[in-house]
């Protein structure tokens, strides 16, 4: 049973914890089974940050184990300020570690009209989107500004963003510990939503699980495992990579990582390593696997910590397991046109790639047909670096997204496929339709400073409105405004300043990858 109250002077006096809040009149109290929590109100939206859903998994007795549900807290939980993500490598070269080893948490945005106030009940049961952040399975942050759920909530959709373990703690294979601990965290967060979202005005039977990049692959894994059955009813995948490790590959990475640290490859051994050293070596391991002779196709990926085929969460592979997805779940899946430019433009790699590197990648991929012609720099009028970025984009994100659309269509799911084609002017007009650029359009958060670095100061309003409204429509109705995907016409929505539906875009590229196994 939900109980919510706008804080008044009387409530402040009745509990001294309330006195710490500077603006009690703009706060909201919610009581759930775990206890009382206080969020903040702004522009008609109540926001609750840093709400624990699982007990601290970094303590000695819980380290590298399956998550344990958070039970209760004493007193009032202040949920008015964003918390830290899990320990992970910093993006700042001058800092090694960001995040903190603490409880696993989530954030919630809900319209004030959806929750009871001043003992007046609310009869609304709104649809929910649970967002899984990306970050190559070595980073994640549910409080990133791009994921602010205010605009969704103002349009009667509740947003939940979740933190989960990544890197060594989330995905390293260890004897005596379950694999894919980060995925287990996500499942527990979804269980929390089922149990508690009604207390925030949400409908647990209208949950869309969504994510971008590693978050999108996580969604695919959740679709393919019976462990998440019944926890969501719709799914959205933006730029899913679908990379994974076999048991043999995972064991090899663990041995290499622990050998460098001169520790045993055990839970006990890794538990002795301070977090700054632990995450520094996560990045170093990414460089280690770039040795193509020793690591083969893994050398083209850039991250060593990935979901593992464990026979429990992942049976065959994230892609093959989609054959077990429930056909009743509608799906949006797609990618940006130039995904890898996010990594290659800011780093300068797009200007330093050689023809030899491009040829090596094409050779390793062993694509059917004439890849050298399809990815010809001369025929396409592109530089070697631009062409290499196209190949990496197709290999890492674009073709996995297309193969998901095809697989789920064969599985009788209703699927809507899209391409994001808008060319960002960032980085001196070089960034283009890169990875992540679509996310601020979906959330209608293009005006924050983080987003401006990727989309510029004047992104097209029409595109913002179009994408945001399409995601709203799908979350509310289980349908999008363009034609569902089929294997004959292959309808695809091309999101741009003037968005339009097109059939079978880049068919020559699609045919190259037709028999490639992701």
For residues 220-238, give the mean pLDDT: 98
- 273 domain-assigned: no
User: What's the confidence (pLDDT) of residue 25?
Assistant: 55
- 256 domain-assigned: no
State the catalytic residue, choosing from 335, 435, 468, 499: 435
| Residue 435 designated active-site | yes
- 428 and 478 co-located in one domain: yes
Q: Distance (Å, rounded) from C-alpha 149 to C-alpha 130?
A: 10
Instruction: State both tokens at 112.
Output: 């004030």
Cα distances (Å, whole numbers) of residue 286 to 63, 298, 300, 339, 390: 23, 10, 10, 19, 22
Tell me: the pLDDT tens digits for 81-103? 999 999 999 988 778 899 999 99
User: What's the confidence (pLDDT) of residue 92?
Assistant: 83
Tell me: the pLDDT tens digits for 41-82? 999 999 999 999 999 999 999 999 999 999 999 999 999 999
- 509 and 423 co-located in one domain: yes
Residue whose C-alpha is closest to residue 182's, from 234, 143, 144, 219: 219
Tell me: the pLDDT tens digits for 130-181? 999 999 999 999 999 999 999 999 999 999 999 999 999 999 999 999 999 9
State the catalytic residue, choosing from 27, 213, 317, 424: 213
User: What's the confidence (pLDDT) of residue 333?
Assistant: 99
- 314 and 355 co-located in one domain: no
Instruction: State both tokens at 230.
Output: 């019944």
* 9, pLDDT greater than 50: no
Provide the whole-model pTM: 0.93
- 310 and 364 co-located in one domain: no
Cα distances (Å, whole numbers) of residue 14 to 9, 38, 382, 384: 9, 15, 68, 68
Q: Distance (Å, rounded) from C-alpha 65 to C-alpha 384?
A: 45
**Residue-wise burial string across 103-141, b where 16 or more C-beta atoms lie within 10 A, e elsewhere:** bbbbbbbbbbebbbbeeeebebbbbbbbbbbbbbbbbbb
- 473 and 345 co-located in one domain: yes
- 388 domain-assigned: yes
Q: Give the CATH number of the domain where residue 393 resides.
A: 3.40.50.1820
Residue whose C-alpha is closest to residue 209's, from 485, 194, 30, 486: 194
User: Is beta strand 500-503 parallel, antiparallel or unpaired with respect to 76-78?
Assistant: unpaired
- 316 and 425 co-located in one domain: no
Classify residue 160 as exposed, middle or buried by CB count within 10 Å of its CB (0-12, 13-18, 19+): buried
Q: Distance (Å, rounded) from C-alpha 153 to C-alpha 39?
A: 14
Q: How does residue 230 score in pLDDT terms, banded at 50, 70 and 90?
A: very high
- 388 and 313 co-located in one domain: no
- 283 domain-assigned: no
Q: Distance (Å, rounded) from C-alpha 480 to C-alpha 460?
A: 21
Q: How does residue 19 score in pLDDT terms, banded at 50, 70 and 90?
A: very low
Q: How does residue 26 score in pLDDT terms, banded at 50, 70 and 90?
A: confident
Angle between helices 214-224 and 181-196 (to 10 degrees): 70
Residue whose C-alpha is closest to residue 332's, from 205, 481, 192: 481
Q: Distance (Å, rounded) from C-alpha 76 to C-alpha 371?
A: 61
- 203 and 166 co-located in one domain: yes
Classify residue 75 as exposed, middle or buried by CB count within 10 Å of its CB (0-12, 13-18, 19+): exposed
Residue whose C-alpha is closest to residue 136's, from 271, 278, 292, 285: 285
Whether residue 394 contacts residue 513, with contact meaning beta carbons closer than 8 Å, is answered with yes
For residues 426-451, give the mean pLDDT: 96
State the catalytic residue, choosing from 40, 151, 339, 468: 339
Q: Which domain holds residue 35?
A: 28-247+306-323
- 316 domain-assigned: yes
User: What's the confidence (pLDDT) of residue 121?
Assistant: 54
The total domain count for the chain is 2
Residue 244 φ/ψ region, left for φ over 0, alpha for ψ in the -120 to 50 degree band, beta for the rest:
beta
Q: Distance (Å, rounded) from C-alpha 299 to C-alpha 438?
A: 27
Residue 490 φ/ψ region, left for φ over 0, alpha for ψ in the -120 to 50 degree band, beta for the rest:
left
Q: Distance (Å, rounded) from C-alpha 8 to C-alpha 18?
A: 10
- 301 domain-assigned: no
Instruction: State both tokens at 83.
Output: 């918390």
- 386 and 319 co-located in one domain: no
For the chain, the average pLDDT equals: 92
Given CA atoms 36, 42, 45, 51 in this order, what sign does their dihedral have? Answer: negative
| Residue 213 designated active-site | yes
- 395 and 315 co-located in one domain: no
């Amino acid at each position: 049973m939900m109980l919510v109250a706008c804080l008044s002077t009387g409530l402040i006096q009745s509990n001294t914890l309330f006195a710490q809040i500077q603006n009690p009149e703009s706060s909201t109290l919610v009581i759930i089974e775990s206890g009382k929590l206080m969020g903040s109100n702004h522009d008609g939206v109540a926001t609750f940050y840093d709400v624990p859903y699982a007990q601290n998994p970094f303590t000695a007795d819980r380290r590298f184990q399956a998550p344990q549900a958070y039970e209760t807290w004493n007193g009032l939980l202040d949920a008015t300020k964003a918390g830290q993500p899990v320990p992970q490598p910093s993006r700042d070269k001058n800092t090694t570690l960001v995040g903190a080893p603490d409880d696993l948490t989530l954030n919630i945005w809900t319209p004030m009209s959806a929750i009871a106030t001043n003992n007046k009940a609310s009869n609304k049961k709104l649809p929910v989107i649970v967002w899984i952040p990306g970050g190559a399975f070595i980073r994640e942050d549910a409080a990133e500004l791009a994921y602010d759920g205010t605009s969704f909530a103002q349009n009667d959709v509740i947003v939940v963003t979740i933190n989960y373990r990544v890197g060594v703690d989330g995905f390293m294979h260890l004897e005596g510990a379950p694999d894919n601990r980060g995925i287990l965290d996500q499942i527990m967060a979804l269980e929390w939503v089922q149990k508690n979202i009604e207390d925030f005005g949400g409908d647990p039977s209208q949950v869309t699980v969504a994510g971008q990049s590693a978050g999108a692959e996580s969604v695919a894994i959740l679709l393919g495992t019976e462990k998440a059955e019944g926890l969501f009813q719709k799914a959205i995948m933006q730029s899913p990579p679908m990379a994974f490790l076999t048991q043999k590959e995972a064991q090899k990475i663990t041995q290499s990582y622990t050998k460098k640290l001169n520790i045993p490859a055990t839970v006990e051994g890794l538990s002795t390593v301070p977090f700054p050293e632990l995450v520094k070596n996560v990045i170093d391991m990414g460089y280690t696997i770039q040795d193509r002779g020793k690591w083969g196709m893994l050398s083209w990926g850039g991250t060593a910590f990935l979901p593992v085929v464990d026979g429990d969460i992942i049976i065959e592979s994230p892609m093959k397991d989609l054959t077990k997805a429930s056909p009743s779940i509608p799906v949006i899946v797609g990618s940006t046109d130039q995904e890898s430019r996010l990594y290659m433009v800011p780093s300068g790699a797009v200007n330093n790639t050689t023809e030899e590197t491009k040829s090596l990648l094409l050779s390793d991929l062993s694509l059917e047909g004439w890849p050298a012609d399809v990815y010809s720099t001369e025929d396409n009028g592109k530089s070697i670096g631009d062409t290499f970025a196209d190949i990496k984009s197709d290999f890492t994100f674009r073709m996995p997204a297309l193969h998901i659309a095809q697989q789920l269509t064969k599985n009788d799911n209703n699927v809507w496929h899209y391409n994001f084609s808008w060319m960002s002017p960032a980085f001196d007009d070089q960034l283009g339709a890169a990875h992540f650029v679509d996310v601020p359009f979906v959330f209608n958060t293009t005006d924050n400073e983080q987003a401006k670095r990727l989309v510029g100061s004047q992104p097209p309003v029409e595109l913002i409105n179009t994408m945001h409204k399409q995601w709203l429509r799908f979350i509310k109705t289980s349908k999008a405004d363009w034609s569902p995907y089929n294997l004959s016409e292959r309808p695809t929505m091309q999101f741009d300043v003037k968005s339009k539906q097109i059939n079978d875009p880049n068919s020559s590229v699609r045919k190259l990858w037709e028999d490639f196994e992701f």
